[in-house]
Amino acid sequence: MAGALGAYQATRESSGTSWVPESSPMHGFHRNIGAWHGMVHGSATLVWDDQGGKRGDEELFSANMFMASASRKLGPGSLTLRSMLSLEPATVEDDGYPLLFQTGETEDGKTPLIDAQHPHDLFMEMATIYSLPLGADSSVFAYLGLPGEPALGPPTFMHRHSGMEIPEAPLSHHWLDSTHISYGVFTLGVASGPFKLDGSIFNGREPDEDRWNIETEEFDSVAARLSINPTEDWAFQVSVGDLHEPEQLEPDVDILRSTASAIYNRKWDESDWQTTLAVGRNDKDPGDSSEAFLLESTVTFAHVNTWFARVERVDKDELFTGAHPLAGEEFTIDKLSLGYEREILMLGNLTLAVGVLGSLYWFDSALEPFYGDDPRSFMVFLRGRL
């Protein structure tokens, strides 16, 4: 199956116009219907979430998404239609699922989400791609999405093999890949062999608290990304984006976001091992800068047994608000998550698995009165995937 952006295998493609290693596993059901090649892919994870410590909570929720794409030759090039939907507005509470030290977005347009991960919108991507060959291995492409994902950051965490099995969002999400749902994106790019250079204009505002609708805002932000896949097992990217007022509750703050990442995938027999290293920096204007570091790795043996780990270091200045004496103070949070997943049923392209995840945290002693001195979290989950 050819890629939507150029002359390479489709296994290189991930969220938006981002790349993963070409040797990465590809999930989904494929079928040719006339001149069209179609693909459907989806997953739903039922999670019992127990976040420890004084600001922790317990909750049962479901993280889920469904993706469909169709591509065909059209004129001298190729056309791809892509959509991605999520029912999380119905399966995750408005105030998100409990996740210690997570911040970003709002539940009601007034209250910031703290120690919780927001649900995704119903419409995660509705995009059109047209690619025109320039030679044997080169092409120029255009991507238009409402919503869509601009050329900024590594592949989104639920679309890279190193992160998709982990049932929680990374704390570094708002430094690396939070622009994966942008309500209005136009990207132009060129791909040639192992290189891709793409640039986007887009709406930089993150989704609001209404998770069911499609928002329409002006294009007010820009981003550019250079991707290099030197071999089928490696994917590198560096990117920078100038985001205009991305946070709804900080309407006068712009962010210059810079990211870099490296993904390595090792494939042997029926097993895969993928590791991602990523760094992100947010420079607020006005305001201070903050950084996030992520290292995650997932190994799957014979499509049955999967082990995964994620290590993060994140600067957080949104843990307290209002008149709280620590409001606006920046704290460095270190987090280690380890987990295991076992596939228990396979019916054609549909698989069912059970798993567990545990997390530990390290932070400044000034946070101990609010979080406790040794909070621990765990999740137990049931995952179905097509």
Report the CATH number that the domain containing residue 251 is assigned in CATH: 2.40.160
Q: What's the mean pLDDT when you consider all of the chain?
A: 96
Residue 365 lies in a domain: no
Q: Tell me how many domains the chain contains.
A: 1
Contact status, residue 288 vs residue 330, Cβ threshold 8 Å: yes
Q: Per the structure block, which two tokens stand in for 150?
A: 């601009």
Omega before residue 286 within 30° of 0, cis: yes
- Domain span including residue 255: 10-302+312-331
Residue 380 lies in a domain: no
Residue 99 lies in a domain: yes
Residue 216 lies in a domain: yes
With a cut of 90, say whether residue 102 has pLDDT above it: yes
- CA dist., res. 97 & res. 110, Å (int): 18
- Integer Rg of the chain from CA: 20
Residue 291 lies in a domain: yes
Residue 347 lies in a domain: no
Residue 174 lies in a domain: yes
pLDDT in tens, 49-99: 999 999 999 999 999 999 999 999 999 999 999 999 999 999 999 999 999
Q: Scanning the structure block, which residue is given the tokens 């993706």?
A: 67
- CA dist., res. 332 & res. 348, Å (int): 45
Nearest CA among 256, 185, 257, 266 for reference residue 218: 185
For residue 356, how far is the Cα from the chain centroid?
21
pLDDT in tens, 112-150: 999 999 999 999 999 999 999 998 899 999 999 999 999
Sign of CA dihedral 2, 350, 121, 253: negative
- CA dist., res. 357 & res. 307, Å (int): 10
**What is the per-residue burial (b if ≥16 Cβ within 10 Å, else e) of 273-308?**
bbbbbbbbbbebeeeeebbbbbebbbbbeeeeebbb
